[in-house]
């Protein structure tokens, strides 16, 4: 999938789509509570049984001659504690087939450091984990990095394989949560899901797009900002971030690109009586 935002292009490269009971991700999203949203969620974002598709994908943003990879999925490894969750070794072939061989990526941005956003930062070379994108600068938000370094949280268990080798190779930059990547692409602080979570704002000409990261996992969270993800680091902070971003972008031309939304992945936040909804568009 491919979008044009002014002079910027965005391409989605999928690693996996996983069916999940939505209430397993968002405990408040019970079938009863979802009923009032079925009219706009079905059939794209929920089915009759309350099952949603969780997409794991990267976005490649092309801006001012730079190829910027946003989030790097699960990678070629099993995830401790999550039975059966394993990345797809074919991901790098799909990235290359989409026109982006790994050695042509200029910048890697991780919205946060959970396992499904840093996985392809590295690949196994037969002896050790090495950076997958040798020509890239990898941007990690400083507060995110320092937050996980200071915590003994199961979410941090991937970091020795996915982040440490990049740091050791001297390819990482620890940046502020409002870091500007190009004149057209910058980070927006949206902490809550994790300590230094960032989203990505694209502004080019009259066009604007917003890449969520995991400040939402599913479009229903625009309507129900208090419905947090089961693994949020600070739930109320995450809810406040969703309210703030919805206020800024609802009823505007902003194209919202969901980091875990299945096809059509993109859409707009629209106000209606009682709150916001999300209208997907292909
Ligand atoms: Zn995620």
Burial class (CB in 10 A: 0-12, 13-18, 19+), 237: middle
C-alpha 201 – ligand 1 centre gap (Å): 18
C-alpha 74 – ligand 1 centre gap (Å): 9
C-alpha 169 – ligand 1 centre gap (Å): 25
DSSP class of residue 102? G
Cα–Cα distance list, 64 to 120, 180, 181 (Å): 24, 13, 10
The predicted pLDDT at position 80 comes to 64
Residues 175-217 have pLDDT tens digits of: 999 999 999 999 999 999 999 999 999 999 999 999 999 999 9
C-alpha 120 – ligand 1 centre gap (Å): 14
Q: Which domain holds residue 149?
A: 2-280
C-alpha 128 – ligand 1 centre gap (Å): 25
C-alpha 86 – ligand 1 centre gap (Å): 14
Predicted confidence band of residue 50 (pLDDT cuts 50, 70, 90): confident
Looking at the structure of the chain, the number of domains it has is 1
C-alpha 121 – ligand 1 centre gap (Å): 15
C-alpha 96 – ligand 1 centre gap (Å): 23
Query: Which residues does 160 contact at the CB level (< 8 Å), separation at least 6?
Result: none
C-alpha 202 – ligand 1 centre gap (Å): 20
C-alpha 46 – ligand 1 centre gap (Å): 18
Question: For position 141, which CATH number holds?
Answer: 3.60.15.10
C-alpha 116 – ligand 1 centre gap (Å): 5
Q: What's the full length of the chain, in residues?
A: 282
For the stretch 40-45, contacts whose Cβ atoms lie closer than 8 Å and that sit 24 or more positions apart, written own/partner, are: 40/277, 40/278, 40/279, 41/219, 41/220, 44/262, 44/263, 44/264, 44/280, 45/218, 45/219, 45/220, 45/261, 45/262, 45/278, 45/280
Residues 218-242 have pLDDT tens digits of: 999 999 999 999 989 999 999 999 9
Q: Strand 207-211 vs strand 198-204: parallel, antiparallel, or unpaired? A: antiparallel
Q: What is the helix, strand, coil percentage profile of the chain, to 5?
A: 25, 30, 40
Report the DSSP beta bridge partners of residue 270. 277
Got the DSSP string for 122-184?
A: EEE-SSSEEES-TTPEEEEEHHHHHHHHH---GGGGGHHHHTHHHHHTT-EEEE-TT-BSSSS
Cα–Cα distance list, 128 to 122, 152, 155, 162 (Å): 9, 24, 21, 11
The predicted pLDDT at position 88 comes to 84
pTM of the model: 0.96
């Amino acid at each position: 999938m491919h979008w044009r935002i002014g002079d910027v292009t965005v391409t989605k490269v999928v690693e996996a789509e996983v069916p999940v009971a939505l209430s397993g991700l968002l405990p408040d999203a019970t079938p009863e509570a979802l009923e009032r949203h079925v009219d706009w969620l079905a059939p794209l974002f929920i089915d009759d049984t309350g099952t949603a598709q969780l997409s794991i994908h990267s976005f490649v943003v092309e801006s001012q001659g730079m190829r910027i990879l946003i989030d790097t999925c699960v990678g070629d490894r099993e995830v401790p504690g999550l039975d059966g969750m394993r990345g797809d070794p074919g991901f790098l072939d799909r990235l290359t087939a989409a026109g982006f061989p790994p050695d042509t990526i200029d910048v890697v941005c991780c919205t946060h450091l959970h396992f499904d956003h840093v996985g392809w930062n590295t690949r196994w070379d037969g002896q050790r984990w090495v950076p997958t994108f040798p020509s890239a600068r990898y941007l990690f938000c400083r507060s995110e990095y320092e937050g996980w370094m200071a915590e003994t949280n199961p979410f941090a268990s991937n970091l020795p394989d996915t982040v440490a080798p990049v740091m050791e190779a001297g390819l990482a930059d620890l940046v502020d949560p409002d870091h500007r990547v190009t004149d057209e692409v910058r980070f927006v602080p949206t902490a809550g899901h994790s300590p230094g979570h960032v989203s990505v704002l694209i502004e080019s000409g009259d066009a604007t797009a917003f890449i969520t990261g995991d400040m939402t996992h599913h479009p229903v969270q625009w309507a129900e900002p208090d419905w947090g993800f089961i693994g949020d680091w600070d739930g109320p902070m995450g809810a406040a971030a969703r309210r703030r971003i919805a206020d800024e972008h609802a009823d505007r031309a902003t194209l919202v690109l969901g980091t875990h939304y299945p096809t059509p992945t993109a859409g707009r936040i629209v106000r209606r009586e009682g709150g916001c909804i999300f209208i997907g568009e292909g």
